[in-house]
Copies of this chain bind each other. A is one copy, B any other.
Amino acid sequence: MKNPNIVILGAGYGGIITAVKLQKSLGVNEANVTLVNKHSYHYQTTWLHENAAGTLHHDHTRIPIKDVINTSKINFVQDTVTEIKPSEKRVMLENGDLMYDYLVIGLGYEAATFGIPGLKEHAFTIGSINSARLIRQHIEYNFAKYNNEADKKEERLNLVVGGAGFTGIEFVGELANRVPQLCREYDIPREKVRIINVEAAPSALPGFDPELVEYAMNSLEGRGVEFKIGAMIKEVTENKLVFEKDEQREEIPTNTVVWAAGVRGNSLVEQAGFESNRGRTPVSDDLRPAGHDDVFIVGDCALLINEETERPYPPTAQIAIQMAEQTADNLTKLVKGDKHLEPFTPDLKGTVASLGHKDAIGVVFNDKKLFGWSASAMKKVIDNRYLLKLGGPGLVLKKGKLNFFQ
């Protein structure tokens, strides 16, 4: 009997953890495991907002795949997936194709722009190392231009973030730290620069405890962030954003709109013919879509209902990592001939949102609320535990957030 081919698509949280666990649980004589990824590196999506603001260098956020994958055990193919063909058990790449016996889809998210005119064309999204450093450079370039032009264009200094959810709030927190540095660098008075957060829902951080939301907004407003809550973005152009609030239209002159208000699963998943809702495919509790026993979906492309809340589990790193661990266990069973798969049982440890380097809010350990330094420290502990899982203590020392007291 030939060794089964296991193909893992994507080296985000879901894909890379699946691969790292499989390289421990399966021998090279048991299966051929191949990890496919567009870049030669894995990156921590949850840190990209810091790279985009310019408060953390992107080399801190990315990790060469070969640093955590033993390529004598796992094949690594650097290529871009163009199509998944489940009926042929085949994946098409830009420069080749791969046959699989088992497929793990960990292709992550895309921005969902909900048809808002101009958003797709003119707004930035924080989706990758490349897009994050472009945002950083775009902001800096506009500060440099503003400083140097005779006819000062205020749209260069109005930084607008669409969405006050988790990512939007974390990003404005970093911007609030970054802007004073940029003002010093480019000799621009701080009061000329606006950081504006536009949120359609009636509250920032929908779903968070109101006390934490208030703490977060106070912290951010204290550092100069303006909130437009209950404000629907109507249009984005090259140099303005239009929103409507209380039936009034308002325009903000800006050439920097960062859209952090909606994500969807990867389009390749729906193009492959899997049932899906915005690129998220309903999966059974062993993370397989109905009718596809050879396919596992982990992370943002998987749609699984939390029975307690009757809502889907959110597309977070925490869930993706746990899905990946379960999938690696189940694949190991299948390869070893055990058809009895274990269900995915998430262990929700809480959520901490950073508000910039020294501040954060969160809920951990069954509804314990955290604020300020303790929340910020907890956030770093969570990040470091992930690195420990991914690459051991060496990786924590190399890429960890060890600046607890700075």
Contact = CB atoms under 8 A, between A and B. Distances in A.
A144 B134 contact: yes
Interface string A130-157: 1101101110110111011000000000
Contact of A134 (B130, B133, B147, B187): B147
A139 to B, nearest CB: 10
User: How many A residues touch the partner, as a band?
Assistant: 10 to 19
Nearest to A39: B187
A159 B137 CA distance: 18
A256 to B, nearest CB: 13
A141 B148 CA distance: 16
Contacts of A187: 130
Contact of A148 (B130, B143, B148): B130
A313 interface: no
A145 B140 contact: no
Contact of A131 (B137, B141, B143, B148): B148
A222 B133 CA distance: 31
A391 B127 CA distance: 49
A122 to B, nearest CB: 15
A145 B138 CA distance: 9
Contacts of A140: 137, 140-141
Interface string A161-203: 0000000000000000000000000110000000000000000
- Kindly list the 5 A-B residue pairs having the minimum CB-CB distance in the complex, ordered from nearest: A137-B144, A141-B141, A134-B148, A130-B148, A134-B144
